[in-house]
Amino acid sequence: MSVALKHCGSVSEEERWSSSENQAESLEEKHQEVMVSHVPIISSFNDRIRPLLDAVDKLRHLQVMKEGIQLPTIVVVGDQSSGKSSVLESLAGISLPRGQGICTRVPLIMRLQHHTAPEPELSLEFSGKTVPTSEAEIADAITLATDEIAGSGKGISNTPLTLVVKKKGVPDLTMVDLPGITRVPVHGQPENIYEQIADIIMEYIRPEESIILNVLSATVDFTTCESIRMSQKVDKNGERTLAVVTKADRAPEGLLEKVTADDVNIGLGYVCVRNRIGDESYKEARKVEADLFETHSLLSKIDKSMVGIPVLAQKLVHIQATIIARCLPEIVRKINEKLNASISELKRMPKTLSTVGEALTTFMGIVGSAKESLNKIIVRGEYDEYLDDQNMHCAARLAEMLNQYSGELHEFSEDDLTSELYDEKRLKRYHTYQLTLLKNVWTYIEGVIMSVLMHRSENYHQLQLSTRREVYNLMEKMKERSRNWVTEIVQMEKLTDYTSDPAYLNDWNGLMAQQQKFMDALENRYATAFQIEGLGEVSIRGLRAYEKPDLLQAFDLKMRMTAYWKIVLRRLVDSMALHLQFCARNLVNKEMEEEIVTELVGRHDGAIEGMLEESSAVAAKREKAECEHQGIERVQECPGKHHGQNYYKYLV
Ligand code: GDP
Ligand code: MG
């Protein structure tokens, strides 16, 4: 890129911009040629680059830079009073606020556009409005607009102000003028004014896409310039820095040496100029400038490709075309990316709601779609909406939890059947397991329901708050209900014994078949324990003191109980599974909707009305997205966009 730009100055397609030709002509005529009649000659070039420049300017207007898309920009920097404003004035042929005291306090985007009408057309764009103005009023208009943006004090702001100058003969250029660099705050300026300005300048010159137009006064030593120090921070070798040396008239001595020695690494070269002074007209100023570089004993020695406002204009037009052409493919790529993102954002955005009826419909839609999603993941075990989120695979997670609970119960009862735990104590343990399971299950389901509902109502904060509250209340009810149910189940088991399960008789018979072996073991005076299949090891040491009929009866009783507990255990697991499935299904299909709708609609707690308000806030966001979207589409329609590469070749 640096190579391409370095040669910009020597590309001589618009030779008429150079003031070295036609010495015979009067200066007046020369000026005419430079500022006005160049049009036919460079128009073919302009015709091709202009749509691109327009597109870029439109994007700038849409503030795509805030979205992280960098636009090719010529940024004007310079120490205070270096002559920045004067240079811009010279390029635009208009008066800008100038001189001591009134300095640029906000970034000024200057968009120069050639037009064929004899009358210039000027306007300021800021704070979303366009204010037409005139050459006579421009200085005041800028001051007023600046006051509106940055306050009427001496403070600065980085919100830009755009000045559009449509004038016959101006080069098609867009440049950004930044506040001048001051070391010492003037009266009324904040203490950290230097840092504030430096931050703004850095923000503009840091991107690779920016070309730095460094304005240096011939009267100072370039190496001491603050603006040079800054541009070198981001562009060490000056590959994208062009220097304009002002006030050539005031310090002609040694200027040639200064610009040829290039002590400060200016990759894109120097252009020496002499700006308008005092009440001179622009015509007069150009005349004097041309004359100066033509006739002055020292200044005339400087190569003509390095002097005069017309040369500067030509170089800038070239550089601008080059950077636009170079950056365009990348901009188009980023814009496509943004476009896709903004389309999907638009799709996700809720439509604007204007009546309570509409809000209600949307609300019912939210509840309905949440219900459908929950039905899928909790009841039907369909996870297409949450393929990658294991936690939302509810039916599977619930099955896992139940399995774990069943495993725990069995483990506990195996440990325990052989010991002499009373029924009541054993049931109490089971109860604890059940309560823990219920708590875990409902907490988990609550999390899932919240997550689905919050996602569905993400654009309505007020609604989210109310829904969250209702779901919380509902889940408390569910937990309470389950607790009561399980207590009742345990109570039932405690007070009654019944089973019609044939497995009971089977088990009991299997256990009783070991009775004879058990009695034999008791006969063996050395045996201390006996292994009962399906039950475990029992200690028999203390049993020898009892009579045989009592022992037979005790064995029978113990085996009946063992077989019965197995049934109880299975019953506890099964009924728990049924209970949870039943409750979850009811909750999702009926209770959740009833609870939320009755509470939110019936009680008028403001959630539905709040949706209207929120949707208008979202509407603003939507408008912005739509606007961006349109801007982006416009750029995509831009005829030149496919030819970026060709422009580049053409320019180099
Ligand atoms: P800024 O603070 O960088 O915007 O500088 P200005 O454009 O306001 O210029 C500061 C002062 O330098 C003004 O009084 C200008 O008239 C003067 N000035 C700017 N350019 C030239 C020039 O080329 N020659 C002379 N003699 N004075 C200039
Ligand atoms: Mg200025």
What would the pLDDT profile of 238-284 be if each residue is shown by its tens digit? Answer: 999 999 999 999 999 999 999 999 888 899 999 999 999 988 888 89
Position 518 in a domain: yes
Mean pLDDT confidence for 508-518: 92
Residues by chain with Cβ below 5 Å of ion ligand 2? 84-85, 104
CATH classification of the domain holding 530: 1.20.120
Distance 181 CA to ligand 1 centre (A): 15
Give residue 10's pLDDT: 38
- Alpha carbon of 601 to those of 313, 356, 593, 597: distances in Å? 67, 11, 11, 6
Structure confidence at residue 6 (pLDDT)? 39
What is the 146 CA–ligand 2 centroid distance (Å)?
A: 13
Higher pLDDT, 475 or 63: 475
Indicate whether 602 pLDDT > 80: no
Same domain flag for 458 and 473: yes
- With a pLDDT cut of 70, the percent of the chain lying above it is 85
The H or E element spanning position 217 is strand 210-217
Mean pLDDT lowest for which of 118-127, 528-537, 572-581?
Answer: 528-537
Whether residue 632 is contained in a domain is answered as no
Q: Are residues 345 and 360 in the same domain?
A: no
Check whether residue 244 and residue 361 sit in a common domain. no
**More confident position, 24 or 377:** 377
Among the listed ranges 37-51, 242-256, 284-298, which one has the minimum average pLDDT value? 37-51
In the chain, the N- to C-terminal Cα span, in Å, equals: 9
Is the CB of residue 529 below 6 angstroms from any atom belonging to ligand 1?
Answer: no
Q: Residue 476: inside a domain, yes or no?
A: yes
Q: How far apart are CA 451 and CA 443, in angstroms?
A: 12
99 close to ligand 1 (CB < 6 Angstrom)? yes
Strand partners, 123: 132, 164
Q: Is 373 a domain residue? A: yes
Q: Is 246 in the pocket of ligand 1 (CB under 6 A)?
A: yes
529 within a domain of the structure (yes/no): yes
Closest ligand to C-alpha of residue 104 is 2
Atom of ligand 1 nearest to the CA of 246: 23
Q: Is 615 in the pocket of ligand 1 (CB under 6 A)?
A: no
Residue 113 and residue 152 in one domain: yes
Residue 257 located in a structural domain: yes
Range of the domain at 9: 1-68+322-352+638-652
Residue 618 domain-assigned?
Answer: no
Judge if 29 and 111 occupy the same domain. no
- Residues in CB range of 534: below 8 A, 6 or more apart: 507, 510, 511, 562
pLDDT for 97 equals: 66
Q: Are residues 193 and 252 in the same domain?
A: yes
Q: Average of pLDDT values for 437-462?
A: 92
Q: Are 156 and 150 in contact (CB under 8 A)?
A: yes
Nearest CA to ligand 1 atom 25: 247
User: Does 5 score more than 50 pLDDT?
Assistant: no
- Check pLDDT > 70 for residue 15: no
The verdict on 63 and 73 lying in the same domain is no
Q: Are 530 and 541 in contact (CB under 8 A)?
A: no
Mean model confidence pLDDT for the chain: 82
313 lies in some domain: no
Specify the number of domains making up the chain: 3
